[in-house]
Amino acid sequence: MHNDPGQETVRRKIERATKTRREILTRRAEPNSTSTGDAHGHSMLYALQHAHGNAYVQRLMRSSSALLQRQAGTGAASRSVPGLPHDVVEQIQANLGSNRQAALDALTDALVGQGDVDRSFLVGETITYVTDKSRMAPGHYGHTSLSPGTGRPRPSSVDIGPDAFRSVSDLYATVMHEWQHVLQFRRPETASEPADELEARLWEVENIEQTGLWRNPGYMGRIRGDLQGWWQRLTDVEQAAFAERYQAALAIITRMTERLQEEQFQQQRGGRK
């Protein structure tokens, strides 16, 4: 097994920025706090912005903010789905088959509490479970559409279908995949479908440890093909815009596939003892 150097560099940058933000928040809470930490944090983020662009820094800040939210929460992180508190995962799991809207509501509440989802961006401030096949195309886990009207931004409607309830990890990844489309709809400019779909799947791969989906052999077997399929449909300009994230995502898939294979090997080895 090996670690991809590029991915490790990105990981270290996120960890440094997260540490800096945590230190700033701590100092601000102290009576004799100063602005030195603020200036240092701003300088670091400005350097990253200059080197990698606004979109990169925004992704980094969202990642560190979500981490800080989870660290500030009262619930310990789940071992199977580290991006969510253990008690929330248990609540979702208990309702996956019997009350799917309740499971979806519990997940949405947790994501809102962590700062990952903004209810004001959603029609009715909710995400809806649907069984009506006319509202959910075959093979689709979820669907996002703009509310009627003109101009952007305006709220989006997010529907989640039955296939997304196979596990807490599937539901978590599906909701956050659709959330990427909500954010895309809030942009003044319109991107192509391949670009939007690639971007949503990039979120899945970049957060695959948080959702726990890397332990799903079926998912790991198809996500690389999904990425490559959408990548091939991009224009040259779009490929240039996504090249860094795309290559990093492929490296993550390789690394996590090796990790899954190693875990499966150790389990089989333990079973033979």
The pLDDT value recorded for residue 75 is: 76
The pLDDT value recorded for residue 271 is: 65
The pLDDT value recorded for residue 83 is: 98
The pLDDT tens digits along the chain (273 residues) read: 444 444 444 445 445 544 444 443 334 334 444 444 444 445 555 554 554 455 545 555 555 554 554 444 447 999 999 999 999 999 999 999 999 999 999 999 999 999 999 999 999 999 999 987 777 877 789 999 999 998 889 999 999 999 999 999 999 999 999 999 999 999 998 899 999 999 999 999 999 999 999 999 999 999 999 999 999 999 999 999 999 999 999 999 999 999 999 998 888 877 665
| Separation of alpha carbons 233 and 120, rounded Å | 33
The pLDDT value recorded for residue 181 is: 97
Note the residue count of the chain.
273
The pLDDT value recorded for residue 3 is: 45
- Give 160's strand partners: 129, 142
Q: Phi first, then psi: what are they for 146, rounded to 5°?
A: -75, 145
Q: Phi first, then psi: what are they for 243, rounded to 5°?
A: -55, -45
Question: pTM for the complete prediction?
Answer: 0.73
| Cβ proximity of 100 and 165 under 8 Å | yes
Residues 6 or more apart whose Cβ sits within 8 Å of residue 89:
78, 80, 81, 168
Pairing label, strands 128-129, 156-160: parallel
Q: Where do the structural domains in the chain lie, given as residue ranges?
A: 1-72, 77-190, 192-273
Pairing label, strands 128-129, 142-146: unpaired
| Separation of alpha carbons 52 and 235, rounded Å | 21
The pLDDT value recorded for residue 23 is: 45
The pLDDT value recorded for residue 28 is: 35
Write the CA distances from 56 to 13, 50, 138, 188, integer angstroms: 11, 10, 34, 19
| Separation of alpha carbons 235 and 195, rounded Å | 9
The pLDDT value recorded for residue 60 is: 52
What is the side-by-side order of every strand in the sheet holding 142-146? Answer: 128-129, 156-160, 142-146
The pLDDT value recorded for residue 151 is: 87
The pLDDT value recorded for residue 267 is: 83
The pLDDT value recorded for residue 20 is: 44
Write the CA distances from 243 to 217, 237, 246, integer angstroms: 26, 10, 5
Q: How many CB atoms lie within 10 A of CB 36?
A: 10
